[in-house]
Structure 1
Amino acid sequence: MARRCELTGKGVLMGNTVSHALNRHRRRFLPNLINVTLISDALQRPVKLRVSAAALRSVEHRGGLDAFLLKQDDGDLSPLALGIKKEVRAALAA
């Protein structure tokens, strides 16, 4: 399973652990991913996603899952999130 946020595309970063003696070795910085169930107002159903904690705060700040998806760039969204965005757009148009 990829360690990538389905809403923002945030993934693993690489860097160095630096000791007091300035010895360096490679390490991975993992995103804080959480399995959540978000309610879509337009679809009237829950949606299970694996998102980062920062993305979860952004969803709340923008006013819910539907508003977040409509404003988010398609390049950052996972294929599952793109499908949900398409469904939301169709539900709001009808």
Structure 2
Amino acid sequence: MSRRCELTGKGNQTGHRVSHSNIKTKHVFVANLINVTLQSEALKRSVKLRISANALRSVEHRGGLDAFLAKASNDELSKKALALKKELAKKSEAVAA
């Protein structure tokens, strides 16, 4: 399992640690990922995802998982999140019809 957020696509970054004497050593800045269970109101079920702490704040700010996925672009979502987004789209089309 890669260390990548399933909603925003954030992953590890590389760079240097720079000491006081300006010695540069390679360093990996690891993404702050957490395992969460989010409720989907449209699907009436919970979904387990591994997302970054920043993505969790974004989900809460946009008004829940359903609203976040509606606005999210497809290229940054994982396969699991993309399938969830398509399932939400089908559900909203069925309700509208």
Counterpart Cα distance in 2 of 1:43 and 1:87? 8
TM (norm. structure 2) is 0.95
Q: Match of 2:55? A: 55
Q: Match of 1:87? A: 87
Displacement after TM superposition at 1:92 (Å): 1.1
Counterpart Cα distance in 2 of 1:9 and 1:68? 14
Counterpart Cα distance in 1 of 2:44 and 2:89? 13
5 Å matches for 1:63-78?
63-78=63-78
Count of residue pairs brought into register by the alignment = 94
Runs of 4+ in 1 over 6 A off after TM superposition: none
Counterpart Cα distance in 1 of 2:92 and 2:58? 21
Displacement after TM superposition at 1:80 (Å): 0.2
Root mean square deviation, CA, Å: 0.4
Runs (5+) with no aligned partner, structure 2:
none
**2:3 is aligned with 1:6:** no
- For 1:75, the aligned partner's letter is D
Tell me the secondary structure at the aligned position of residue 38 of structure 2.
Answer: strand
- For 2:75, the aligned partner's letter is G
Runs (5+) with no aligned partner, structure 1:
none
TM (norm. structure 1) is 0.98
